[in-house]
C-alpha cells in the first residue's frame, strides 16, 4: 500500500514537473505593461476632438457653452460629456442625426427633470432637420409613456426653444433655404424632407 502511494506521488510529481517545464521552457518575460493613465488619455484625444466636432455640428455652439460651464467646476465631467455621447455614441452609424436627436429629445422629455439638456437637444433637433411639429408630436407621445407632467414639461421646453429661435430669426433646418439632406446612414431616403405625411 505504501509503495502504491509513493508511485502515485511520483507520478503526480512527474506530471507537475512536465507541466512546469513546458510552461517555463522559454525565457521568462515580464507581462506587458499596461498603458499609463496619461497614455490612455492621449489615446482618447481623438474621441474628444471627434466629440467636439459632432457636438458643434448638432448644437451650433449651444453645446459648447454647456461644456464650458461644466469645465469651470469639473473638467473631467465636461470631458466625459463630450467623449462618450458625442465622440462615441453619436458618431455611430445606424441612425441619422435626425433620428438620433428625436430619440434624445424623447428620452430627455421622459426624464422630466432635464430641462436645460432638453432645450439644447430641441435646438439640435431643429438644426438637423426635425420639424417643430415632430417635436410637439414627440411630447404628446411622451404623455403615454412618461405621464402628462413630463409631456407638459417637454412642451414648455419646446415653447421656450421655438420662441428663442423666432426672436433670433434662427431658421430651422427643414426650411427650404436651410435644408440639407441627412446622409448619415446609407438607408436614408433622399426624398425624405423630415415633414410628416398626412395619414
Is residue 120 domain-resident?
Answer: yes
In the predicted model, is pLDDT for residue 146 greater than 70?
yes
Q: Domain with 151 in it: what CATH number? A: 1.20.1290.10
CA distance 14 to 41: 48
What is the pLDDT confidence band of residue 62, given thresholds at 50, 70 and 90?
A: confident
Same structural domain, 103 and 156 = yes
Residue 131's domain spans which residues? 95-177
Q: In this predicted structure, what is the pLDDT of residue 136?
A: 98
Total domain count, the chain: 2
Average pLDDT for 129-154:
97
In the predicted model, is pLDDT for residue 114 greater than 70?
yes
Same structural domain, 153 and 127 = yes
Is residue 5 domain-resident?
Answer: no
Average pLDDT for 142-162:
97
Is residue 198 domain-resident?
Answer: no
* pLDDT tens, residue by residue, 17-59: 554 455 455 555 555 665 554 454 445 568 989 999 999 899 8
* pLDDT tens, residue by residue, 15-28: 555 544 554 555 55
The alpha carbon of 199 is separated from its chain's Cα centroid by a whole number of angstroms, namely 33
In the predicted model, is pLDDT for residue 82 greater than 90?
yes
Same structural domain, 151 and 88 = no
Same structural domain, 68 and 127 = no
In the predicted model, is pLDDT for residue 103 greater than 90?
yes
Is residue 10 domain-resident?
Answer: no
Amino acid at each position: 500500500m505504501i509503495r502504491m502511494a509513493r508511485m502515485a506521488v511520483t507520478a503526480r510529481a512527474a506530471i507537475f514537473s512536465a507541466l512546469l517545464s513546458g510552461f517555463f521552457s522559454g525565457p521568462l518575460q515580464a507581462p506587458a505593461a499596461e498603458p499609463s493613465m496619461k497614455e490612455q488619455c492621449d489615446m482618447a484625444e481623438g474621441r474628444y476632438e471627434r466629440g467636439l466636432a459632432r457636438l458643434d455640428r448638432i448644437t451650433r455652439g449651444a453645446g459648447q457653452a454647456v461644456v464650458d460651464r461644466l469645465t469651470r467646476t469639473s473638467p473631467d465631467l465636461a470631458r466625459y460629456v463630450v467623449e462618450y455621447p458625442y465622440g462615441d455614441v453619436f458618431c455611430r452609424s445606424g441612425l441619422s442625426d435626425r433620428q438620433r436627436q428625436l430619440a434624445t429629445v424623447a428620452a430627455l422629455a421622459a426624464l422630466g427633470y432635464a430641462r436645460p439638456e432638453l432645450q439644447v437637444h430641441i435646438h439640435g433637433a431643429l438644426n438637423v432637420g426635425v420639424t417643430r411639429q415632430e417635436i410637439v408630436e414627440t411630447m404628446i407621445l411622451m404623455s403615454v409613456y412618461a405621464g402628462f407632467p413630463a409631456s407638459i414639461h417637454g412642451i414648455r421646453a419646446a415653447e421656450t426653444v421655438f420662441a428663442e429661435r423666432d426672436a433670433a430669426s434662427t431658421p430651422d433646418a427643414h426650411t427650404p433655404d436651410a435644408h440639407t439632406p441627412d446622409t448619415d446612414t446609407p438607408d436614408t431616403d433622399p426624398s425624405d424632407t423630415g415633414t410628416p405625411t398626412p395619414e
